[in-house]
């Protein structure tokens, strides 16, 4: 299988006043195509900082990051934005949907950056992605007319619409009750069965059982990186 992610001694410092916060202190791992990895750790351990690096939303202080074989360090801001748009789908805790905007319109958004995709194709791909997450009957509902679980499904459809090589999720079930969280997790599992590569950040240890591998962070370092032997696709 192809290596999708290579993190080579990644560190990220933040300077706040006179202090330097070492959010990540030299992190190494690779993730292959088709893996479903949870990144775990207590609050402040560096999970979101790492996910932002993996998602090309931020650059490391030192170290190198390769996404699908491309070194991200050598890229400028525009190149990184294009890479992000083509290769990565994001899902956040707070859904990040446009308010008072329909499910279709929200899902179409990433396709606007691709001039090759016509308006007609945009719409048909958005509908297809919404059907894939079980929202075929909510296509024209606006964000404020949906439940949290439905909004998160819209966000997942939006993450899928560009057919990304990588799906990144940061506390994607953080705002949902336990039943709805399980539904969203099983949606991620079915995406994984279809061959998607997923990195799922959570501080909830119970959720790591649902993925094929768990990387645990503490104080900006990896303290555990294990395959989940009980995991069945
Ligand atoms: N933009 C920033 N400026 C300064 N410090 C930051 C910044 N972003 C993160 N940090 C610091 O880096 C450390 C790691 O933060 P991060 O957000 O990655 O933690 P986390 O593991 O995602 O925590 P949580 O579970 O609470 O979301 C924290 O100590 C945080 O205060
Ligand atoms: Mg976080």
pLDDT in the model for residue 147: 96
CA distance 198 to 190: 11
Q: Where are the domains of the chain?
A: 3-95+164-227
Q: Whose CA is nearest to atom 4 of ligand 1?
A: 14
How do residues 123-165 score in pLDDT, each as one tens digit?
Answer: 999 999 999 999 999 999 999 999 999 999 999 999 999 999 9
How many whole angstroms separate alpha carbon 30 and alpha carbon 106? 32
Per residue in 172-219, pLDDT (tens digit) is: 999 999 999 999 999 999 999 999 999 999 988 888 888 999 999 999
Ligand 2 centroid to Cα of residue 230, in Å, is 27
Taking all residues of the chain, what is their mean pLDDT, rounded to a whole number? 95
Which residue of 18, 20, 38, 44 sits with most ligand 1 atoms within 8 Å of its CB, as the best mutation to test the pocket? Answer: 44
Query: Which residue among 13, 14, 16, 92 has the greatest number of ligand 1 atoms within 8 angstroms of its CB, and so is best to mutate?
Result: 14
User: What residues pair up with 201 in beta bridges, in sequence order?
Assistant: 39, 170
Domain 3-95+164-227, CATH: 3.40.50.300
Percent of the chain at pLDDT > 70 equals 100
Residue minimizing CA distance to atom 28 of ligand 1: 44
On whether the CB atoms of residues 217 and 46 are closer than 8 A, the answer is yes
pLDDT of 232 strictly over 80: no
For residue 44, how far is its CA from the centre of ligand 1 (angstroms)?
A: 5
State the Cα–Cα distance between residues 202 and 171, nearest whole angstrom.
5
């Amino acid at each position: 299988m192809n290596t999708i992610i290579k993190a080579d001694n990644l560190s990220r410092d933040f300077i706040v006043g006179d202090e330097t916060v070492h959010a990540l202190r030299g992190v190494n791992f690779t993730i292959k195509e088709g893996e479903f990895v949870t990144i775990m750790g207590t609050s402040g351990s560096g999970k979101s900082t790492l996910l932002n690096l993996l998602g090309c939303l931020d650059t490391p202080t030192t170290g190198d990051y390769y996404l699908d074989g491309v070194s991200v360090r050598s890229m400028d801001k525009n190149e990184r934005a294009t890479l992000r748009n083509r290769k990565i789908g994001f899902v956040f805790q707070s859904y990040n949907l446009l308010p008072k905007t329909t499910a279709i319109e929200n899902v179409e958004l990433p396709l606007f950056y691709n001039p090759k995709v016509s308006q007609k194709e945009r719409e048909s791909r958005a509908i297809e992605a919404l059907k894939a997450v079980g929202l075929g009957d909510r296509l024209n509902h606006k964000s404020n007319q949906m439940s949290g679980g439905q909004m998160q499904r819209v966000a997942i459809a939006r993450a899928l619409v560009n057919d990304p090589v990588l799906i990144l999720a940061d506390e994607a079930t953080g705002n949902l009750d336990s039943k709805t969280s399980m539904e969203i997790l099983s949606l991620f599992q079915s995406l994984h069965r279809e061959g998607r590569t997923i990195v799922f950040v959570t501080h909830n240890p119970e959720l790591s059982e649902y993925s094929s591998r768990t990387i645990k962070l503490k104080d900006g370092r990896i303290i555990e990186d294990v395959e989940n032997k009980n995991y069945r696709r």
